[in-house]
Amino acid sequence: MIHFAVQNSWLIPLMPAIAFAIIVFFLRRTPQASAFFSISCISVSFLLSLGVVAGVLMDPAAVESSVTWFSMPGLTVEMGTLIDPISGMMVFVVSLIALLVQIYSVGYMENDPGYSIYFAYQSLFAMSMLGLVIANNFVQMFVFWELVGLCSYLLIGFWFYKISAREAAKKAFVTNRVGDYGFLLGILFLQIIFGTLNFTDLAQIIPTYANVGLLTVIALLVFTGPIGKSGQFPLHVWLPDAMEGPTPVSALIHAATMVVAGVYLIARAFFLFAAVPTALQVIAYVGGFTALFAATIAITQNDIKRILAYSTLSQLGYMVMALGVGGLTASMFHLMTHAFFKALLFLGAGSVIHALQGKQDIWEMGGLARKMPITTKTFIIGSLALAGIFPLAGFWSKDEILLAAQSNGFTGLYLIGSLVAFLTAFYMFRLVFVAFYGQAKPNNDPHESPAVMTTPLIILGLLSVVGGLVGMPWLSTNFGSYVYFGEAHHGYSLMIMVTSTVIALMGIYLAYLMYYKKTISASAIANRFKAIYTLLYNKYYIDEIYQWGINHIVDGAGRVAYWIDLHVVDGVVNGLAKGTRQSGTILRYLQTGQTQHYGMVLVAAVVVIILLLGLLDPSLGISAWGGGN
């Protein structure tokens, strides 16, 4: 079974692809059958992923297989699979989260008219992400990368009758295209310079390439893909608006699919970035800035899903920062643990929204702890894990990132990471104290979600507790040694562990004083620092700045281009047509079919010829016409 799973890992994305095709062509009118078939197929993928993980644990050496996709002079493109510790961990996480989200969706989407097509899209999404993580070359990865973007568009805009959903879907699609253009240019440069796009081949060639300046350009172009896909500043604006889709979609996008694709790309192509210190520094500071930027916004938001969305942006910044400081192990470790507790938090938010008939403002909630005990307990576990409290999963992976930053001389980023840890604990327990322990609202009648929704919460809650412990042994042994560059595991620092825990507890305690005990007035602080609060609440006005740019710069450029097209391009074409038409109008009198017209033309022609002859030959002067001297 283990050998079969490793050697036939292409079956992992194939199963949800089959589910998508069968549902679209045969099961669209049978909702329950669609859900059952989709869950069955992703369950097979999950079982195969367990075999892959077992195989990687037994022998972490990379296993690669491929066939020629197409070939032409100077270019051969393969389609294949690459199984190593990184891809092994990813197929496990993606298939597990996709399975739990689909099970949860059975209850959450129960009465939705698009039930069948929803599961078809879920299957296509899972197939796209699984195909991306096992790809052995850039072309294949880019194909699945674009499919992931397409699926996000379909699922974010799933409730297409809502204008906000349609706009959010378009925003996600267009914003990601900006990053993807740079990514594609980087791929083209790699092919032109090195003649191959295979990861293993490039990992052997690039470290010996002497032109560091050109490598820097290529690395930064490739990095634009993750900037868009993983919501890094300044292409982060689509991610909070992606909340317009169904909540299980948010869980899948934020936990284990689209947004982590960018982090995975950097890790997979780390041989490229490791060869260019400048690119690594750019990655580190972009990640660190995004982590702090998003965390400061999250502390002022009131929509439960938006708080979690900005939390995702912040944690993605953590992962990208870790990669930039050279902590591949730390980044991938945090990606895994984050998938567990972020999926838990989003599904918990979905349970709350489901119980309150669609309400998402935390100030319209309150008193949920008594009415929704399972949702409350699992949500608190997820919040503690995200805050990095010992001994939950987030504690181990977050400390790995902080240690990597400190060990490699990035003291400023270490301090930023510590501040982000404080803000994370604060805004998560602000949410907990307001929504679950705040004053109950008389017009609410919450109830616990059905077992089909709470069971995934319990499973993810357990993984959020033990996930960090499970990951440590094989991560530390295998990740660095088998991804082409020998990155070492940093171990653990007691000082950082204690410091980060104290910082997180301080954030929780401040939230407790402000939103549970209310001995510190949150409104008074907001009023005292109104300008800062308004800036944070309005997300630094980045969306408004972009909209202004679109309205004044992009639209202006469009109007100029339209004028040139209308008066220059069309003017030349239409002018030629008009000249031809007018010439034809004149010349048509030569072919009227009337004898008197032909005679008139003949006489006129004779007169013109005689005049021309008189001008050209003076010996035939006018006087000769009158009979001589």
Per the prediction, the chain carries an average pLDDT of: 88
Mark whether 598 and 501 lie in a shared domain: no
AA identity, residue 569: V
- Min mean pLDDT across 112-116, 232-236, 566-570 is at 566-570
Higher pLDDT, 458 or 583: 458
Which pLDDT score, from 0 to 100, does residue 236 have? 92
Clarify whether residues 585 and 487 are in a common domain. Answer: no
Mean pLDDT to the nearest integer, 562-583: 83
* Residue, of 617 and 435, whose pLDDT is higher: 435
Q: How distant is the alpha carbon of residue 18 from its chain centre?
A: 24
Residues 572 and 460 in one domain: no
* pLDDT classification of 49: cutoffs 50, 70, 90: very high
Please identify, among 474, 504, 532, the residue that sits at the C-terminal boundary of a domain. 532
Stronger pLDDT, 444 or 293, i.e. the higher one = 293
Q: Which of 158-167, 243-252, 368-377, 489-498 has the lowest mean pLDDT?
A: 489-498
How far apart, in whole angstroms, are the C-alpha atoms of residue 479 and residue 267? 10
Residues 370 and 292 in one domain: yes
Under the banding of pLDDT at 50, 70 and 90, the label for residue 488 is very low
**pLDDT for residue 621:** 55
What's the rounded mean pLDDT across residues 418-432?
Answer: 96
Same domain, 415 and 453: yes
Buried residues in 477-513 as b, exposed as e (16+ CB within 10 A): ebbbbbbbeebebbeebeebbeebbebbbebbebbbe
508 falls in which pLDDT band (50, 70, 90)? very high
The yes-or-no verdict on residue 210 having pLDDT over 50 is yes
Of the residues 502, 532, 562, the one at which a domain ends: 532
Q: Is the pTM of this model over 0.85?
A: yes
The reported pLDDT for the residue numbered 619 is 64
Does one domain contain both 347 and 436? yes
**Percent of the chain at pLDDT above 90?**
64
Quick one: average pLDDT of 187-201? 93
- Whether 175 shows a pLDDT value over 50: the answer reads yes
| pLDDT higher than 90, residue 611 | no
DSSP 486: -
Phi and psi based region of residue 628 (left: phi greater than 0; alpha: psi -120 to 50; beta: remaining): left
**Most trustworthy range by pLDDT among 89-93, 206-210, 290-294, 567-571:** 290-294
pLDDT at 551 over 90: no
For residue 6, tell me if it sits in a domain: no
The pLDDT assigned to 4 comes to: 81
The whole-number pLDDT of residue 486 equals 44
Q: Is residue 52 part of a domain?
A: no
Are 400 and 365 found together in one domain?
yes
Beta bridge partners of 82: 64
Same domain, 513 and 467: yes
Q: What is the per-residue pLDDT for 128? A: 95
- Confirm whether 607 is domain-assigned: yes
Q: What is the mean pLDDT of residues 360-373?
A: 92
Q: Is the pLDDT of residue 396 over 60?
A: yes
When pLDDT is averaged across residues 603-611 and rounded to a whole number, the result is 84
Does a structural domain hold residue 9? no
Q: Are residues 515 and 467 in the same domain?
A: yes
Q: What CA–CA distance (Å, rounded) separates 501 from 390? A: 7
pLDDT at 625 over 50: no
Q: Are 526 and 552 part of one and the same domain?
A: no
Q: What is the DSSP string of 27-77?
A: ITT-HHHHHHHHHHHHHHHHHHHHHHHHHHHH--S-EEEEEEEEEETTEEE
Tokens of 34: 């669609």
The answer to which of 2-16, 180-194, 379-393 has the lowest mean pLDDT is 2-16
Q: What is the pLDDT of residues 307-326, one digit of tens each?
A: 999 999 999 999 999 999 98
Looking at residue 628, its pLDDT comes to: 46
pLDDT score, position 607: 87
Q: How many domains, in total, are found in the chain?
A: 2
557 shares a domain with 513: no
Q: DSSP state, 81?
A: E
Question: How confident is residue 618, by pLDDT bands cut at 50, 70 and 90?
Answer: low
Note whether residue 442 is domain-resident. Answer: yes
- Name the percent of the chain lying above pLDDT 70: 93
In this predicted structure, the answer to whether residue 481 has a pLDDT above a threshold of 80 is: no
Residue 140 confidence (pLDDT):
94
Per mean pLDDT, which range of 28-37, 53-62, 125-134 is the poorest? 53-62
Determine the pLDDT at residue 48. 95
- Contact 431/362 with Cβ under 8 angstroms? yes
Q: Which of 532, 556, 578 is the last residue of a domain?
A: 532
Q: Is residue 26 part of a domain?
A: no
Give the Cα separation of 245 and 125 in Å (integer): 14
What stretch of H or E contains 295? helix 277-298
Of 95, 113, 92, residue with least CA distance to 103: 95
| Position 624 confidence tier, pLDDT thresholds 50, 70, 90 | very low
Q: Check whether 627 has a pLDDT greater than 50.
A: no
Task: Of 4-18, 563-577, 583-597, give the lowest mean pLDDT range.
Answer: 583-597
Domain coverage including residue 495: 286-296+327-532
Helix H, strand E, coil C: the string for 129-169 is HHHHHHECEHHHHHHHHHHHHHHHHHHHCCCCCCHHHHHHH
Residues 471 and 384 in one domain: yes
Residue 116: inside a domain: no
Residue 118 located in a structural domain: no
* Residue 572 pLDDT level (bands cut at 50, 70, 90): confident
Contacts of 204 (CB under 8 A, 6+ apart): none
pLDDT, one tens digit per residue, over 213-227 is 999 999 999 999 999
Residue 470 pLDDT grade (very low, low, confident, very high; cuts 50, 70, 90): low
Mean pLDDT computed over 59-66 = 85
> Which residue type, as a one-letter code, is found at position 478?
N
